[in-house]
Chains A and B, each alone.
Chain A
Amino acid sequence: MENNSERKIHIAKHNSCGLCCVKINNISVKIDNRIILDDINIHMHCGEITCIIGPNGAGKSTLLKSILGMTKHTGSISYLNKNDDITSKPIIGYVPQKISVEKNIPISVKDVLNIAKIDINNNVYKKVIDILKISDLLNKKMGELSGGEVQKVLIALAMNPFPDILLFDEPIANIDRIGITQVYKIISTLRENFDIAIIVVSHDLESMYNYADNVILMDKKVLKQGSPKEVYDSDEFKKVFEVGDINV
């Protein structure tokens, strides 16, 4: 576990208030009498990275869609901000896996940021753009960006309106190895600087071990949740990923 020290540094840098709380209560989804999600309960705080892992078909995407309100579900999502105001509709920033922009379409990064009404002169967004390091990309066309650059722009788009929860759907699916580290570093930095609860759905078990505060192992229902070490060492984890002795 040589990365454990790196992990501790990330947590120590924690700057957010930690008081805001997201509660996902009893989310269930049934499609044609097939149970896709069974009574999912997740609690998390701002400044935490919660990672959702599980085998293919475990319902991870369905859970994301339920949180986004795109899929019919039972149960509720509540959000308690630092002033103790409870809302059932927290602002959610969604970062998709990839974009479907055709390569030659003349939409620049600046265009897309404008459309998302991100004011690059506003202090908060100045900071976001600084963290994302996208100021050099502003005049590039969206279709010409690398996978990692696209992901950074998508993160910027998810930051307006300023989110309570930031949702990442497989953030590294289309990125090379160097880009992957950059994206996870950005996610960590965002967590350190803003009061946002971050949810990441990912297949990248190794990086999740290093960057997540909480891991939720699911297969239609929550099998195990806790710190990365607790989950990765559990029997449930070994059973799902069919490993005798996981080496991360």
Chain B
Amino acid sequence: MFEYEFMQNAMILILIISPLFGLLSTMVLNNRLAYFSDALGHSAYLGIGIGLLLGIATNNVLPVVIFSVLFAVLLVIIKRRYGEAPDTVIGIIASISVAVGIIILTGFGGLQKFSQLLVGDILLVAQNQLLPLAILAIILIIIFLLIYKKLVLISVDESLAKSKNISPVLYEIIFTSMVAITVAMSINIVGILLVSALFILPGAISKMISKNMKQYIIISTISCIILSVIGLIVSYYFSIPTGASIVVCLGIVYIMTLLLVSFKR
């Protein structure tokens, strides 16, 4: 199957983005940002719409990256302002951006034309984007390794973090921007509908079997890479969307791990 160029590109992209999902998902769960990553995923619709208005091709990730980061910063500020119950406001803003995105996309020749964005399409992966994406991924991984300990401390107690001169708002903005960038990088292959699942499943699998931070991060990352590759191969043989295939693979392993862990107890 790897004699086809589109499969080579898809495999390279999977190897670029899957470690990111594995790493970020640990802290998404740790800092309770699952809902947040969902909102970010949906907001990408508007990012693509705005990109189209500016005359940029739908498979160019740059406008989505910029828009998603701005959106992430906005969401963090709103979340902070509304204290304990930010989900209403985040929900409203996410749905408005989806709605406006749909309207813009409809204006550009109907939704059907863009339905591939919902579930992803490996044919959208452009070879000339792989190198910039790989560089971006390496930068994100380095930033993650630099900040994850601070994120852990923030998740333990925000005032404690503040007393050690760690700004929870700053790190939350950095981290959600990283989530936003990862969303933008992977929409073409995973699709808007399922991208948030990849921020939850690897961490959730790892959470059940690891005993400390190191194991948690390593198991999450490795299982995400392996299962994403398997997902891609399965999607090729069964001609199904790659995003859905990866999520099902992760889902099966999640359920199996859950059963194993419950039996053991």
Report A's interface with B, CB cutoff 8 A: 65, 68, 70, 92-94, 96, 98-102, 104-108, 110-112, 114-116, 139, 141-142, 154, 157-158, 167, 169
Stretch of B117-125, B150-158, B172-180 with 4 or more beta carbons under 8 angstroms from chain A: B150-158
Contact A108 B212 (CB under 8 A): yes
A112-B160 Cα distance, complex, nearest whole Å: 12
**Which 8 pairs from chain A and chain B are nearest by CB?**
A94-B163, A111-B213, A108-B212, A106-B210, A106-B216, A96-B157, A115-B149, A99-B156
**Which residues of chain B come closer than 8 Å to A107, judged between CB atoms?**
30, 152, 156, 212-213, 216
Assuming the contacts A111-B152, A116-B164, asked whether A106 and B213 have C-beta atoms less than 8 A apart, the reply is: yes
CB of B80 within 8 Å of the partner chain: no
**Which residues of chain B come closer than 8 Å to A101, judged between CB atoms?**
155-156
**Which residues of chain B come closer than 8 Å to A157, judged between CB atoms?**
156, 160
Assuming the contacts A102-B30, A102-B32, A105-B207, asked whether A70 and B159 have C-beta atoms less than 8 A apart, the reply is: yes
Contact B152 A93 (CB under 8 A): no
A110-B216 Cα distance, complex, nearest whole Å: 14
**Which residues of chain B come closer than 8 Å to A92, judged between CB atoms?**
163
6 contacts between A and B (CB under 8 A): A98-B157, A99-B157, A108-B213, A115-B152, A116-B164, A157-B156
**Which residues of chain A come closer than 8 Å to B206, judged between CB atoms?**
106
A130-B152 Cα distance, complex, nearest whole Å: 25
Closest A residue to B210 by beta carbon equals A106
A115-B157 Cα distance, complex, nearest whole Å: 13
Q: How many residues of B contact A (CB 8 A)?
A: 25
**Which residues of chain B come closer than 8 Å to A96, judged between CB atoms?**
157, 159-160
Q: Mark B233-247, 1 if CB is under 8 A from A, else 0.
A: 000000000000000
Interface residues of B in 177-226 (CB under 8 A from A): 206-208, 210-216
A158-B163 Cα distance, complex, nearest whole Å: 9
The answer, among A93, A104, A112, for a CB contact under 8 Å with B163, is A93
Contact B152 A112 (CB under 8 A): yes
Contact B157 A110 (CB under 8 A): no
**Which residues of chain A come closer than 8 Å to B210, judged between CB atoms?**
106
**Which residues of chain A come closer than 8 Å to B152, judged between CB atoms?**
107, 111-112, 115
**Which residues of chain A come closer than 8 Å to B164, judged between CB atoms?**
116
Closest A residue to B214 by beta carbon equals A111
The answer, among B156, B163, B207, B213, for a CB contact under 8 Å with A100, is B156
A93-B30 Cα distance, complex, nearest whole Å: 24
**Which residues of chain A come closer than 8 Å to B208, judged between CB atoms?**
104
A65-B212 Cα distance, complex, nearest whole Å: 32
Closest B residue to A163 by beta carbon equals B163
Contact A94 B160 (CB under 8 A): yes
* Closest-CB distance, A61 to chain B (whole angstroms): 10
* Closest-CB distance, A29 to chain B (whole angstroms): 16
A104-B210 Cα distance, complex, nearest whole Å: 10
Closest A residue to B220 by beta carbon equals A106
A115-B147 Cα distance, complex, nearest whole Å: 11
